Amino acid sequence: MAQGIPEDVMMNHSLVKELAEVAKDTALLHGIQMRIHETPNSSEVRNENTGIFNLNCSGNNNCIHVVFLQALAVQIHYNTLVDKISQDPDFLQEALASTIAVDDFTARLFRIHQQILKEGKSQSIVLGLNRSDYMLDQRDDGSTSLKQVEINTFAASFGGLSSRTPDVHRHILKVAGRLEDSHRILDNNPAAGLARAVAKAWELYGSERAVVMFLVEESQRNIFDQRYIENELWNRNIPTIRKRFDDVCKMGSLDQDKKLHIDGQEVAVVYFRNGYMPQNYISEQTWDARIMMERSMAVKCPDISTHLAGTKKVQQVLTRPGVLEKFFPDQSQVVEQIRATFAGLYTLDEGLEGDKTVEMGLAAPDRFVLKPQREGGGNNLYGAELFQVLQSVKGSAERMAYILMDKIQPTPVQNILLRRDAPLKISNCLSELGVFGAYVRQGKDMVMNNCVGHLLRTKSSEYEDGGVAAGVAVLDNPLLI
């Protein structure tokens, strides 16, 4: 999304070095930090922050200002869409039928969803915190359009840290002599907006002593991102606790009213920041813990059906003709707004349509991305690898575990990425915009539905995949002109 940094700054090595030092210190001062790999569960050493910063924020032109506003504007509709999907068991069943036939993890989640439906949902309050990710598709003919990469309905991260990056980039720009540009960095506070929705769900649950439980990872490198939201809640006198699956296994229980208790405390809201990858479920007990939480009276963020609504297969099915119209009857403008952000997505189900997708992918592997039903980065396939895998699964049902997607092609922009243990050098960079959505529904009433901020991540174009946590991308800010 960037126009990059001016020639004079790029050429001035001593200025770049000085700005890098200023950037690291300012990031520390503002609490933009991540624990290091070596000690992910202790804050004794915490200098990974130096590895997650772009030295210069991404500059831009008018056209990009327009697409930025477009991404913010469509967010409440995406919130509504995800929520509607989560309430449509027939749609989920049909959309995911082929996937669950071959993908064990999705199948297992789907079985939990069915079990909960059968037993009857015990909680009518729904809390959704999601992040829709986009890239700019910039074609040779000069056209520029905003295309969605995916929507994350589970454990969407960096709402905390991105609340603090604007001040850092403003400061760096000032030190670089670009005062005017520093004023163009937008305020951004997703942490506050996400916490507002959690607080609303907690309030509606209606028990002052009950806590918000963050269900956290074994390895807690990104704890600071979560702490911002925790602290926003504590500021409202809402108690929060952090527990792992293992704690829930050992200390969790449901009482006769299906209220969830952990270690003697009643839980009003379970905010999942872990549980989206097969490897998060290390034993049958872990699955039992997930089922117990799903069954409980606690508000789940997300609940199991909203989790499924965020799968890549659902994303593909939504691009079929008539599907959006079904969710938004008589709202053609909303349909158009959402559809405008869709990249081409193609089924690999068995049958003629899937056969055509295979042919198309094999004929031009560099034009596509092959995606399994996984989250968290590093699972997608590109180029030669895409060709190889597609070739090997094309004749079997296994291919239904994947979807094929048009590769979005942003124009790279030169910039300097500041990453831990990486030299300061000019790279061709690509940016990805994330937009945070937060909503609360009680029964049929949408009590809250907001766009609560954004995230810009920038990486070198030599990487196809990989986020900030993987050490590839850095936290950035749009510089809108």
List residues near ligand ADP by CB under 6 A: 133, 135, 149-150, 343, 369, 371, 375-377, 379-380, 405, 407-408, 432, 465
133 vs 303, beta carbon nearer ligand ADP:
133
Least distance in angstroms from the C-beta of 311 to ligand ADP: 10
Q: How far apart are CA 107 and CA 100, in angstroms?
A: 4
Least distance in angstroms from the C-beta of 87 to ligand ADP: 23
6 vs 376, beta carbon nearer ligand ADP:
376
Q: How many CB atoms lie within 10 A of CB 196?
A: 17
Quote the DSSP letter at residue 412.
P
Residue listed under structure tokens 């400061």: 171
Per the structure block, which two tokens stand in for 272? 């999942």
116 vs 381, beta carbon nearer ligand ADP:
381
Q: What are residue 438's DSSP bridge partners?
A: 129, 450
Residue nearest to ligand ADP (CB): 408
Per the CB < 8 A criterion, the answer to whether 337 and 331 are in contact is no
Per the CB < 8 A criterion, the answer to whether 303 and 126 are in contact is yes
Packing angle, helices 13-29 and 165-175, rounded to 10: 150
Write out the catalytic residue numbers. Answer: 131, 150, 152, 157, 312, 371, 375-376, 457
6 vs 377, beta carbon nearer ligand ADP:
377
103 vs 432, beta carbon nearer ligand ADP:
432
Q: Is 351 left (phi over 0), alpha (psi -120 to 50) or beta?
A: left
The 3-state secondary structure of 53-91 reads EECCCEECCHHHHHHHHHHHHHHHHHHHHHHHHHCCHHH
Per the CB < 8 A criterion, the answer to whether 92 and 308 are in contact is yes
Instruction: Report which residue type is found at 153.
Output: T
31 vs 412, beta carbon nearer ligand ADP:
412
Per the structure block, which two tokens stand in for 131? 């992040």
380 marked among binding-site residues: yes
Per the structure block, which two tokens stand in for 68? 């930025």
Least distance in angstroms from the C-beta of 409 to ligand ADP: 7
477 marked among binding-site residues: no
Q: Please choose, from the candidates 14, 34, 57, the residue with its C-alpha nearest in 3D space to the C-alpha of residue 467.
A: 34
312 marked among binding-site residues: yes
Per the structure block, which two tokens stand in for 354? 């899937």
Least distance in angstroms from the C-beta of 119 to ligand ADP: 30
131 marked among binding-site residues: yes
Per the CB < 8 A criterion, the answer to whether 456 and 448 are in contact is no
217 marked among binding-site residues: no
377 marked among binding-site residues: yes
Per the structure block, which two tokens stand in for 8? 């004079």
288 vs 375, beta carbon nearer ligand ADP:
375
Total residues found in the chain within this entry? 481
Q: How far apart are CA 86 and CA 314, in angstroms?
A: 11
75 marked among binding-site residues: no
Least distance in angstroms from the C-beta of 149 to ligand ADP: 5
Query: 63 exposed, middle or buried (CB, 10 Å; 0-12, 13-18, 19+)?
Result: middle
47 marked among binding-site residues: no
Per the CB < 8 A criterion, the answer to whether 415 and 54 are in contact is yes
382 marked among binding-site residues: yes
Least distance in angstroms from the C-beta of 132 to ligand ADP: 10
Per the structure block, which two tokens stand in for 341? 């952000």
Least distance in angstroms from the C-beta of 338 to ligand ADP: 17
Which residue ranges make up the annotated binding site for substrate? 131, 226, 457
Binding residues for ATP: 150, 312, 371-380, 382, 405-408, 432, 459, 465
- Binding site, annotated residues: 131, 150, 152, 226, 312, 371-380, 382, 405-408, 432, 457, 459, 465
Q: Which residues are part of a known binding site for Mg(2+)? A: 150, 152, 375
